Each structure stands twice: as structure tokens, then as C-alpha cells.
Amino acid sequence: MQSKNKPLISKNTKRSAELFEKACQVIPGGVTANIKYFPPHPLMMEKGEKSKLYDVDGNEYIDYLLSYGALILGHGHPSVFQAVQNQMKTAGTTIFGTPHRLEIKMAETLIRLYAGIEMVRYTNSGLEATQLAIRMAMAYTGKQKLAKFEGHYHGGYDQVLLSVNPDEMVAGNEKNPNVVPESSGIGDHVIRNTVILPFNNLEATEQILREHADQLSAVIVEPVQGGFIPANQEFMEGLRKVTEELGILLIFDEVKTGFRVALGGAQQIYNITPDLTALGKVLGGGFPVGAVGGKKEFMMVSASNKGRDILTSGVQDSNKTDVLFHSGTYNGHPTVLAAGLATIECLEQDDTLERLMTKTHTLRKELEKVYKAKGIPMQTIGSGSIFNILLTKEPIQNYRDLKKADHDLRQKIDYELLKFGIYIKPFNRYSMSVVHDERDMKATIEAHEEALNRVVDH
């Protein structure tokens, strides 16, 4: 159990610290995803309700992490609960393991909302969605290299776990970045087959793409890097134009931005149609989910009726390598799709999304006033219902610009905010929900004021 000499987030988080120490005995590093850890110990949560989280010590927090943006309706929304309960009660089971009608209904919904989607395949996470989109691009083009942008995260697997947060000493020229692995265990063949691009620099990006065009299957991009650094309109238009010219597929990773910047994602905001789109997070209403959507000609490379199931033992098929294999027992899980459809239905009601965007804008402006009054250089940057706080007035266009911000001060503020009941993992972006209300926002503004009083004045 927690010793008296071990550091705590605060004197009121002893039980979290004890449970984390216990978790370390049975779970490597004490967490099941590296991003869930922060020192000296993460907070162990017990309950969620609307805009609030409650930890094992009984502390209440206004939640701005919202499971990294997935819970756009907040915790325990009655429409989602009801949809899940109705689905299981009506179906008499949690899952069929066969095709079912909700798969069609969700696909029709996504096709209606997203300009770049004509057909849909389901996965169980945003990670799997980007992975499938990349495989589709390689299968369609017959080319093996992938281009991704420095600072962009598309999931924790080999092909994209490169140059997400590289050390400046090894990152190379900002106009022609090096390929930097972000984990041990990544093979050299992945590094050789990946090209790194500079985000929001069209001239340099175009030059690199033209140099590697004969080998590149696709460019994958977060239209809003990290969920909070938006691409420039001119950059996105130029990227679409050059990829079309060179026959390179353009993949939008909208796992973070889907439904959060607009119902139709960032592609609606930029009025740009990608070849393939990866979705996740909000799409599942709080359940694990992912989906790949795109133009029919690209999606059809995965059509099961064009080839056999490779798991059918003993049956030979000389054409099996002509078809992209994609499968998963839980793909298109009916309970998950019921939750996702309920979420989308709520977002489409009246002016729900518009009001959410307005609340987000208001909170951003009020927070900027607080920091300005303290004389601290600060800006909120983001899009739609997601934003981040950067302690600098310098323009932020890409990953390398982030070094302009005062990260030490931001860390101190974030830890003080935890003590004042504002839950945001240190350094992370803020995600708003439809259930955050004026009291939450007022308490958040006051917490920032108090945190600054403690950090700046002492």
C-alpha cells in the first residue's frame, strides 16, 4: 500500500495513490494505456455523472477530458443508456456475430453526414480504423509507402508511431523532417516505408510528395492536429489538389474531429472531400468503436463477396490475395452502434451542436481574459468543441511551434486545477460536452484564477 513517503497529487488523493501502487503489481506501469499515466500517480475514478467525475477518494471534478473527447453528451446520458438497454432487451443478446440492421442504419447515417463517405466498414477503435484505411490505400494503389505529418497521432501501431513527438535534436530539418520512431519494437522496414511531412507548410509538403509519388500509396492527416491545431484552408486545398494529381490517396483521420467540429467533421468545415475517412470516439457514444468510410471504388477492395474468408480451413482459392482481408468478431457491434446512433440523434436535435460550440467559444474567451489580467501570455486554440491552452502569444501552426509555449508553467497550473476540481490530464486538450452548464464554466474560470494566484504569486 501507499507509503507515507510517496508523493501525492494532493492530501485528498491517498486512496488513488494506494490503488495505483497496487495496480503496478499486476499491470505493467499500473495503467492499461500509457496515455492514462501522469506523475506522481493518476487519479482512480469511481463514478461519472453528466459533466462530473468522482474519484475513489470522493473528490468531485468537472471533466474536460471526457475520455479524450469521446463523451460529447457527458457521462451517463439517458438517451444513450436507454438505447443500449432497448437494444439488448429487444435483441435478447449483446451481440449476434452476424450482419444486422443497425450496421446498415449507421452506414446510411454516415453517408448522409460525411461528404467523403459513400460506403462504410466498422472496426473496434479509431486505431483500427486508420490502420484499415492505410491497408485499403495500399491494396488499391499497389504501392507500399505511407506519408504522415510530423506531430500527428493516428494510433499506437508500427506504421504511424513515428515522429509524433520527436526530440528536436533528431527531428531534422523542419521542411524535410526525419522519420523518428516513438517506441521500441518498431522494425526498420516501417521506417524505410514512411515519409514524414511538415504540417501547414504546403510548399515543402508538395515537394516531398512529388519526390516520392511513385512509391506513396496515401497521405494520412489530422485536419486538426492533436485535436487543437487547425490546418490552414490554403494548405488543405493544396494537399487535396496535389494528392489527386499524383494519384496518392488522401486519408482524413477524423477520430478526434468527427462530430466535434461539425456533424460532418472537419471535411465539412474545409469543404474538402478525402478519399478515405477514419472515425471513432464520439461515434461509439462511450463504447469502443471505429469506422472507415470512403469513395466506393476504394472501399470495394475489401468486399467480402469478391473472395473467400481466409479462415475457411481446407478451401483453396488462388484469388485470395486479390482481395483485402478485414475482419473482427466485434465489428459493427449492435450495442455499440445503438449507443452511437442515439448520440448522433441527440446532436442533430434543434441547435444542440450550435449551442455546444457557443459554450466552448465563451469559455475560451473568458479564460483568455483571466490570463490577460494576470499578465500571462496565453491563447486558446482549437476548433469546434475542442481546444487547448498554450502559454504563448506566438503563432502556432504545427508541432515545432509548440516549443514556443511555457510548458513548465502550464504543468504547474494543471496540477493546481486538479486540486480545485477541474479534471484535465496535464497538458491535454479540453473537450466540451452538451451537459457542461454555466455553473461548470463559472467554477472553471474561478479555478483558473485561483490556480494562477497560487502558481504565479508564490
Active site residues: 153, 253, 281
Q: Do the beta carbons of residue 133 and residue 220 sit within 8 Å?
A: yes
Q: Are 181 and 158 in contact (CB under 8 A)?
A: no
Separation of alpha carbons 346 and 344, rounded Å: 5
The radius of gyration of the chain from alpha carbons, rounded to an integer in Å, stands at 23
User: Nearest CA to 270 among 346, 352, 381, 384?
Assistant: 384
Residues paired with 194 in a beta bridge: 146
Distance separating alpha carbons of residues 199 and 254, to the nearest angstrom: 16
